[in-house]
Every structure is written in C-alpha cells, then in structure tokens.
Structure 1
C-alpha cells in the first residue's frame, strides 16, 4: 500500500491583516495530520500592513504569497498554475469570490475537486456586487460547500447547492488557547489601563458592516447617563478616519480608544468587562467565540449566525441591529449587574467548549475531504500515485 500523503491547498484573497478566516486557516494544518496543507494568499502588491507570511512562519505553516497589481492580474493565474504543478494538490479549497472562480477554472483544467467555504454574505451593492453575483454562480458547481452558520446554509441551498453536497460546519476555536488566566482588574493593571473604568471592548476590522458608529453612540449615551465606561476597539480598516472624526465630536473623546491592529488580543479580551459586536452583517464571527471562551460577557446584534450562538439572556445579550437604544440598554444592564455578567460569562465559556471546539470542526472537514477522494478510484491510497500527480510530474520535468 502506498504511503503517499494527501495534499490540500487553501486559496484566499486578502488585504491588510485579514480577519477571522486567517486564524482558522493558520490553525488548520496541525489538526489535519493525514494531509500536507499549503496556504496560497493573493494580496495587493503594495499592502503595507499585510503580514500573513510572518504569521505563518511563526506557526510553522506552508504559505505562498502571491502579490498582484490589480483586481485582475494575469500573473496571478500563471503563479497559481505554477503552485498547483509544484504542490500537486488532491483538493483545492478556496474561500472568497476571486479564489472561488480561479479554483473552479484551474480545478477543471487539472482535474482536481474543488470545495469552498461560505464565510459570510456582506455585499451591499456597488462594484463588488458583480463579483458576488459571479461568486453565487460558483457555489452550485463546487464538489462540496461548507457554511459557517445556519442562515448561510439556507442561503447556499437557495442558490441551488443540493444538500448532499452541503455541510454546516461552524467556526470554532482552540478552547485550550482561549481561556481566562486572570481577572479584568488584574489584566488592566498589567496593560497599564485605568483600573476604575468599566471597559467595553471589541476586536474587529474597521469596516462599514461592523457599525462601530453605533457602538460609539451607545457608549456615549452611557457616559451621558453618568456611567464610568470607556470603549477600546482593536483593529484597523477603511472606516478608521470616519470613526476618529466621530470620536472627536463626542463630549468626552478621551473615553474612546481606537488601538489599531493588536497581536495581544488574548490579553485585551481578559481586560474587558464586556465585549460588544454591533454589526449589521456577519457570518459567524470568530472573535465572538474567542470572547465567550475567555469568559467575557458579550453583547451582539441579532444578525446572521449570531442568534444561534448567543442565546439572549442565557450566554449573552443580543440587540436589534441598527438600534443604538437597544445596544445601550444591553450594555447598561451589564454595567449595573455584576451577577448577570458572571452568569453570562460562565455560560458562554461552557457553550464554546461543548459546541465550538476547533478539533471537532476539523474532524468534520476531514471526513468530507476523505469522502470525496475515497469515492474516486484515482485518489484511493491503495492506488499509489494518482494520474494527476503523474501528469504534474511529467509537465514539471
């Protein structure tokens, strides 16, 4: 019997520091011991904050960096062809509209099965809407489609993906890594933060759909009511300048802090008295899982997969999307009630540990990968080198 290891290639387009999917992809190889895994990242050529190669090196992950000059760069296609011929993957797994299209075309050319993950549906018109329309045409043509939340599962079904080629696989985290080691007061002291203030925090890309403008308004209401609160937001993005202008207009701008990108988010989460997420569009945000695992009580808007994760009043509080008053009410409840904060924090941790563990998630993905390859005699382990690999070898010779 051949001992040839199966090979999985993830493809992703990203700008800046990326988001939740980057954390998931970086943790993937250690949880797929039967596969050789390579990440291929397409990104703008002149991106000053892009740091995926460095993060991959720190974690011992194979990553190929593909810079491109424009939204459609023929050099990108040539580079992907080179990577496929070099790595000879058994499965291609793209994660966004651009890599979905490219993977389907290259998968057909090289006769490689293609699967994809639907991480979210955040398009809201404009130029990108054409790309998302093309993306929606890709889903029914995939060998298998993973979705990270129940609403995205229904969305994929509505696009014509048959249920036997569709799996609900929630986002998940390493619950051993994300666990509290000290109290918020102790961590505030370590980080040099004011210990007397009630810290409302968030970690996310500063993008339009995250609606940090609403969070700022809600916190401003609490301050006006006499609450001793401060807002700390870790992350960067295109909305930063607009949010800075909004903060300068507040009566107490010194209570609002945009921290930029931070690598110490585990420490920051432990310093928070409450974690807030006020998006009007989401998938199933990894950072919400992380906050709950760290026993931080959460307030989140009822969008996409969040209501399935956060049961209102049991393991967190949920607010109506777009409602500053509702968000402020939830934050105020937690500000005045320490017993409720403790109850939600403990229940949140328990939910993540029992239902959103990363190792369990990866077992589900591997079962699908194995099923796809085992169903094709060309990829059975007892058949040795596949015709594709032999063809790759000949082309490379």
Structure 2
C-alpha cells in the first residue's frame, strides 16, 4: 500500500510513533511517506527508505501550510492517509474527504479539560462549552467522514471515543503503540555505576504530569536522585519545588533530549506520576530497555503495566504512596531487576512495532475497501 502519514508537531510521543510506523511500513514492503515540519524526525525516517515531505502546519488556520499538505496529497496520491495528531486530524480529513482518499486518525490523547472523561484519569478542570463543541462535537463530525476510521492506543481512549465523542463502535480500533527494533536491540541489565538509586522522568513538563508530586516523593526517600529529561511550561514551577525541597541536591534538570536512550539506560527506575495519560511512549521505551517503572493508575497505563509484575502502580495525587513505592524500589535491587526483566519481555511479546504496524495495515485495508 501507499501510505502517507501526516504530523504537525515537531516532537513528542505521537511524532516518535509516526516515525517508527513509517520505518516499519517501509521495511514490510509498503510505499511509506511521512509529511510534517522539518526536523530530525523527517531525517530519521528518510534514512530508512521512507519518502519524506516538508509540509509544516503551524495552526489550523495556516493557509500556506494547508496548501503544502494539499500539494503533498496530490503528489503522493496515497491509498490511505494516516493522521497522527489533532491538527493533522482536522486538516487531513478536510482535504482528503473531497478527494475520496481513505483516512485513519490516531487519537493519541485528549485535551486536559476533557481528561476526566477518559476512564481512570483524574478530572483536571471543568470542561467549557467551547471545549465540548470543538473536541467532542467537531471530532464526532469529522469521524463520520466516509471511508475513515479512528485508532486509539488503548482501550481507555477507545471507550472515550465511543461514549463521549459518539463515534460508531465499528469505526474505532484500539491498536497499542509499539517500540522500534532499535529499542529492543539495546543491551539491557541494571545500570552499571554504583551509587544512589537514579530515578528518571521523561516528557513534556505540563501541569497534568504532576511533577511536584514526584519531587516531594523523592525528597522523602533517602539515597534517591531524580533526573528530569524534558522541558515545557511547568519547568520553572518544578525547579522552584526542587529548590525549596529539603534536599535540593537530589534533583537535576537535563532539558529536552531528542534521543533519550542514554538517559533511560542510566536509570534504575523510570517514573511517571501523571494525573492523566493515554498509552505513554516513555513507559514503553523504558520497559523495552528493561527498566522497572513507577506510574499512576490512569488512562491506559494499567493496560500496559501490570502492578508488581512489570512495575509499581499508585493512585494519582498520592504523594505518600509514591514515596512508599519509591522506597520499595530503592531498597530492593532484586525487585528492580525482576520487574525490569518482566517489563522487557512484555514489550517484546506484545508491543513491538512490527506487530503494531501489521494491525494498522489491517485498519488501512478496511477503510480502503
């Protein structure tokens, strides 16, 4: 099949996922194309027989960017267009519909104000009328585009799509994210350097990530250090929380890293204390490297992480529970090793990118008729 994927973001989990899918589609013999803003993600895909197209769309009303996507769509003439973020889902379906090009949109997550509608997530803010109109009403309308389907990375988001957006059940397909072959090809085992137990957090610093909770928990547990890999609007607040803690020397801010393999390999534990999640790539990547994870029971996380088998799960917002779980992991190297080995095996058997991509091709073939 000739598959065109569209992204409008420059980084993040959906971008990583789109690149992995594009590369695996090409490896499986499909004519794989990836369009989006210029950056290392396009370059990485191009190195693996993916045809890339520079087509930045800065906002939904970016007429020049929309024109670039229209040009790419006409030039590629794909069998199916796979839209990998919210803006791509809007622009791509508006452009593909009149051309009768089949579309697949991956709903990677929901806006913070609607997060509480996803089973397991904490409510973060009261939804406004315009949020319901924009993200529920408009998405429900777009999902009725002929020859289209919606993919979600977890069952929790599939329930949201059916129950709250109102998308017909036969149009919703839960296809878990997968990790690429290079992740599963990495050497594993505990981090070699002795010393304090190293906890790593990876992602975009937003209020939903509840990073002050993690700072407070680490501050309570002796012999633990936290390295935060990422950036975002909450960074100054998190830095202030670390500076005001009892042990500010325990915290390090690494900033955004386009290749987090080294940071995750250096971790003894990877933590994600979010109030809401879908199916986090950071956890998948950490588990692929054999790292035990500590996360909250939100969204699709319990579908991925089996408590006390692949990692430890706590309730969102429970700083005491987070600290107790950290203590268990920090004081028991055998537990960390057992959880990490189980996590890696779980990803290898269930969440490798070749399995994900074959499931996506089934969806593509279904909408293509």
Task: Report the TM-score, using the length of structure 1 for normalisation.
Answer: 0.81
Q: Which residue of 1 aligns with 2:85?
A: 96
Aligned residues: 350
Task: Say yes or no: does 1:157 pair with 2:137.
Answer: no
SS in structure 1 opposite 2:257?
coil
**CA distance in structure 2 between the aligned counterparts of 1:82 and 1:127, rounded to whole angstroms:** 35
**CA distance in structure 2 between the aligned counterparts of 1:78 and 1:156, rounded to whole angstroms:** 29
Task: Say yes or no: does 1:10 pair with 2:5.
Answer: yes
Task: Report the TM-score, using the length of structure 2 for normalisation.
Answer: 0.87
Q: 1:67 to 1:361 in 2, by over 3 A?
A: closer
Alpha-carbon displacement from aligned partner over 1:265-307 (angstroms, at most 9, x marks no partner): 2222221111100111111011101111211111000000011
Q: 1:51 to 1:136 in 2, by over 3 A?
A: farther
* Unaligned segments of structure 1, at least 5 residues: 1-5, 44-49, 189-194, 376-397
* RMSD of Structure 2 on Structure 1 (CA): 2.3
**CA distance in structure 1 between the aligned counterparts of 2:210 and 2:49, rounded to whole angstroms:** 35
Q: Which residue of 2 aligns with 1:217?
A: 216
Q: Which residue of 2 aligns with 1:29?
A: 22
Q: Which residue of 2 aligns with 1:250?
A: 245
How far the C-alpha of 1:173 sits from its partner, in A, is 0.9
**CA distance in structure 2 between the aligned counterparts of 1:127 and 1:203, rounded to whole angstroms:** 33
SS in structure 1 opposite 2:231?
coil
Q: Which residue of 1 aligns with 2:202?
A: 203
Q: Which residue of 2 aligns with 1:73?
A: 62
CA contact (8 A) 1:178 1:266 kept: no
Map 1:54-65 → 2, pairs under 5 A: 54-65=43-54
Q: Which residue of 2 aligns with 1:297?
A: 292
Q: 1:127 to 1:296 in 2, by over 3 A?
A: farther
Q: Which residue of 1 aligns with 2:183?
A: 177
Q: Which residue of 2 aligns with 1:148?
A: 153
How far the C-alpha of 1:366 sits from its partner, in A, is 0.9
How far the C-alpha of 1:238 sits from its partner, in A, is 1.8
Alpha-carbon displacement from aligned partner over 1:186-238 (angstroms, at most 9, x marks no partner): 2x4xxxxxx4111011211112221211111111121xxxx111101111222
Q: 1:162 to 1:325 in 2, by over 3 A?
A: same
**CA distance in structure 1 between the aligned counterparts of 2:186 and 2:58, rounded to whole angstroms:** 43
Q: 1:262 to 1:244 in 2, by over 3 A?
A: same
Q: Which residue of 1 aligns with 2:359?
A: 364
Of structures 1 and 2, the larger Rg is shown by 1
Map 1:257-268 → 2, pairs under 5 A: 257-268=252-263
How far the C-alpha of 1:51 sits from its partner, in A, is 4.1
**CA distance in structure 2 between the aligned counterparts of 1:211 and 1:304, rounded to whole angstroms:** 15
Task: Say yes or no: does 1:132 pair with 2:102.
Answer: no
How far the C-alpha of 1:183 sits from its partner, in A, is 4.5
